[in-house]
């Protein structure tokens, strides 16, 4: 509930700035409308794909973490993602005020490239079912024993 309240505050503070953003980026009505259409299209596509997944696999496999042993780390990754989603726009806006929008977006691009470069090093080792470890990576398609 708190997350929805914070999201409402963020959207309420962002919407009045749309004309200023449009002027700063020199966007026409069509390009601004296309940019503003991104979030709703993403939401609709996500809900559509979730519906397909629930229809095909059922609601429990879609909602349940694939491996109970990794559920805490999945929660941490989700929390960090939401924190970045909520704090990113104000930080980029503040940077844009200080150093300009293009430089602020360049900072975001550099951070993204850094994350992509170091992400493989942070990957957890896969469990070994032969050693009795939990959660094989994927079940066999024929219903036989799972493989990693």
Segments making up each domain of the chain, as ranges: 7-64, 68-121
What pLDDT is recorded for position 52? 87
**Digit-coded pLDDT (tens) for 41-94:** 877 888 888 888 888 888 777 777 666 666 676 777 777 777 777 788 888 888
Kindly report the pTM of this predicted structure: 0.42
Residue 57 C-alpha from the chain's centroid: 22
**Digit-coded pLDDT (tens) for 94-121:** 888 889 888 888 988 998 899 888 877 7
**Digit-coded pLDDT (tens) for 4-44:** 787 778 777 878 888 988 898 888 888 888 888 877 887 78
CB 140 within 8 A of CB 147: yes
**86-69-47 Cα angle (round to 5):** 45
Q: For residue 138, what are the β-bridge partners?
A: 147
What pLDDT is recorded for position 144? 47
């Amino acid at each position: 509930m708190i997350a929805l309240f914070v999201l409402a505050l963020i959207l309420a503070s962002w919407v009045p700035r749309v004309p200023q953003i449009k002027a700063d980026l020199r966007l026409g009505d069509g390009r601004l409308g296309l940019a503003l259409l991104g979030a709703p299209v993403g939401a609709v596509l996500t809900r559509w794909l979730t519906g397909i997944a629930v229809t095909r696999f059922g609601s429990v496999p879609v909602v349940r973490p694939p491996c109970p042993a990794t559920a805490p780390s999945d929660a941490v990754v989700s929390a960090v993602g939401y924190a970045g989603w909520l704090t990113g726009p104000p930080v980029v806006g503040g940077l844009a005020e200080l150093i300009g929008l293009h430089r602020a977006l360049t900072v975001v691009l550099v951070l993204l490239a850094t994350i992509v470069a170091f992400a493989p090093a942070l990957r957890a080792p896969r469990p070994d079912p032969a050693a009795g470890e939990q959660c094989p990576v994927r079940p066999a398609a024929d219903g036989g024993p799972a493989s990693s």
